[in-house]
């Protein structure tokens, strides 16, 4: 049995996987509110309560941030994670920590065709590096390097690079955010869940777009991002529709930036929770127009396949696949191979 985890700033998803005919088989999953626990160990122990830890032959946790020497200090939680300490305390010999976007990258190879939405076909026969941009609570980015046989995910913190405005309206947005944030503005401040709210408040407060009284009231009691997405896609509130337009365009521009930097001729993948929930907006042309608007190199991006990951467990699947592969390399025994 493989234990996989997806650790976020507010929640921790844990799952158990086995292998059937060489493919991952999802056995059990549970989500925990992270701030209610002192550390990851307590969450894992609760999840495995009543089961025999000896059944877990390997574990891997995707975590937000750079992992150095198997160690990470989380920014949104007062936790310090160390793979050696976790391995000892949980009595799981083969235990690994990797960046959460790295886990997503490993998960792509485990997906079936119905778990991916093709936004742009591009040249499906092209082989080479891939890019991964995930807009959710934050903005994650990774490269999947093609080594001639397989894609090897490499984590980055590219979502924290400087936001680059492309037109007069985005220049105004940049200046507004510089004032409200008291300084530097990263792409994550625009292309993420917080980005949706930042764009919304900019259009409302700086550009004077009307926020209906009934919507203002709803915003106090319901998920603002869900409301912006639902009302914007339905075209019921101009403020929400314009927010989505600016968001999708900025998302496409940054995905195109990554595509240029890593030459992702093998495809650009969009992960995270936002794109699957905004498929209507993502397919109306705003994203792809910004993605391919790269001057003399536009033709290069037009030929790149662009795909949206629909499977919410992609990071868990990738963590499980990574754990099995690393454990097999260390022990010489592969659970995946044995299931064939």
Region 6-21 average pLDDT? 92
Instruction: Tell me the residue ranges of DSSP E strands in the chain.
Output: 2-7, 11-20, 23-33, 58-63, 71-73, 80-82, 94-99, 116-120, 130-135, 139-146, 151-155, 268-271, 306-309
Structural domains counted in the chain:
2
Domain range for 88 is 2-106+313-338
* pLDDT band, very low/low/confident/very high, at 178 (cuts 50, 70, 90): very high
pLDDT at position 271 over 60: yes
Q: Which of 47-56, 83-92, 226-235 has the lowest mean pLDDT?
A: 47-56
> 228, 240 in Cβ contact below 8 A?
yes
| Region class of 11: left (phi > 0), else alpha (psi between -120 and 50), else beta | beta
* Whole-number Cα distances in Å, 329 to 206, 296, 318, 323, 332: 56, 44, 16, 10, 6
Region 251-268 average pLDDT? 98
Residue 50: per-residue pLDDT: 66
pLDDT at position 318 over 90: yes
Question: How far is it between the farthest Cα atoms of the chain?
Answer: 64
| Tokens found for residue 106 | 């490993």
| Tokens found for residue 105 | 């990258």
Whether residues 187 and 48 fall in one domain: no
CATH number for the domain spanning 204: value is: 3.40.367.20
Residue 8: per-residue pLDDT: 85
CATH number for the domain spanning 29: value is: 3.30.420.40
Whether residues 260 and 172 fall in one domain: yes
Residue 30: per-residue pLDDT: 96
pLDDT at position 51 over 70: no
User: Is 82 a domain residue?
Assistant: yes
Residue 285: per-residue pLDDT: 96
Whether residues 44 and 120 fall in one domain: no
User: Is 215 a domain residue?
Assistant: yes
Whether residues 174 and 239 fall in one domain: yes
Residue 74: per-residue pLDDT: 87
Residue 176: per-residue pLDDT: 98
d(CA 227, CA 40): 32
Whether residues 218 and 328 fall in one domain: no
d(CA 257, CA 278): 21
pLDDT at position 54 over 70: no
Whether residues 128 and 11 fall in one domain: no
* pLDDT band, very low/low/confident/very high, at 9 (cuts 50, 70, 90): confident
pLDDT at position 12 over 70: yes
Whether residues 293 and 226 fall in one domain: yes
Whether residues 123 and 211 fall in one domain: yes
pLDDT at position 52 over 70: no
Whether residues 68 and 215 fall in one domain: no
Region 263-276 average pLDDT? 96
Residue 147, number of CB atoms within 10 A of its CB = 8
* pLDDT band, very low/low/confident/very high, at 75 (cuts 50, 70, 90): confident
User: Is 111 a domain residue?
Assistant: no
* pLDDT band, very low/low/confident/very high, at 41 (cuts 50, 70, 90): very high
Name the pTM for this structure: 0.93
> What mean pLDDT, rounded, does the chain reach?
95
Whether residues 130 and 78 fall in one domain: no
């Amino acid at each position: 049995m493989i234990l996989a985890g997806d650790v976020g700033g507010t929640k921790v998803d844990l799952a158990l996987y086995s292998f059937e005919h060489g493919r991952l088989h999802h056995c059990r999953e549970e989500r925990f509110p992270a701030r209610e626990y002192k550390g990851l160990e307590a969450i894992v122990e609760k999840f495995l309560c009543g089961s025999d830890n000896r059944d877990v032959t390997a574990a891997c946790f995707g975590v937000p941030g750079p992992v150095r020497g198997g160690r990470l200090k989380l920014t949104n939680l007062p936790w310090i994670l160390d793979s050696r300490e976790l391995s000892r305390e949980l009595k799981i010999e083969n235990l690994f920590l990797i960046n959460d976007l790295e886990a997503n990258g490993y998960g792509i190879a485990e997906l079936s065709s119905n778990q991916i939405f093709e936004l742009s076909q591009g040249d499906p026969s092209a082989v080479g590096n891939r890019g991964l941009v995930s807009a959710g609570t934050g903005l994650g980015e990774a490269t999947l390097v093609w080594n001639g046989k397989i894609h090897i995910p490499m984590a980055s913190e590219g979502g924290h690079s400087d936001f680059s405005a492309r037109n007069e309206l985005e220049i105004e947005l940049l200046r507004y955010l510089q004032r409200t944030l008291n300084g530097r503005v990263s792409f994550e401040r625009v292309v993420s869940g917080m980005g949706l709210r930042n764009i919304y408040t900019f259009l409302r407060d700086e550009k004077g777009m009307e926020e209906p009284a009934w919507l203002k009231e709803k915003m106090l009691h319901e998920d603002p991002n869900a409301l912006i997405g639902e009302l914007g896609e339905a075209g019921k509130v101009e403020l929400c529709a314009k927010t989505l337009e600016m968001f999708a365009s900025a998302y496409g521009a940054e995905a195109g930036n990554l595509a240029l930097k890593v030459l992702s001729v093998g495809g650009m993948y969009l992960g995270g929770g936002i794109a699957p929930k905004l498929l209507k907006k993502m397919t109306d042309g705003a994203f792809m127009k910004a993605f391919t608007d790269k001057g003399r190199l536009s033709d290069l991006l037009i030929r790149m396949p662009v795909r949206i990951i629909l499977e919410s467990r992609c990071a868990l699947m990738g963590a499980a696949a990574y754990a099995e592969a690393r454990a097999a390399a260390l022990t010489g025994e592969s659970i995946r191979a044995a299931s064939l």
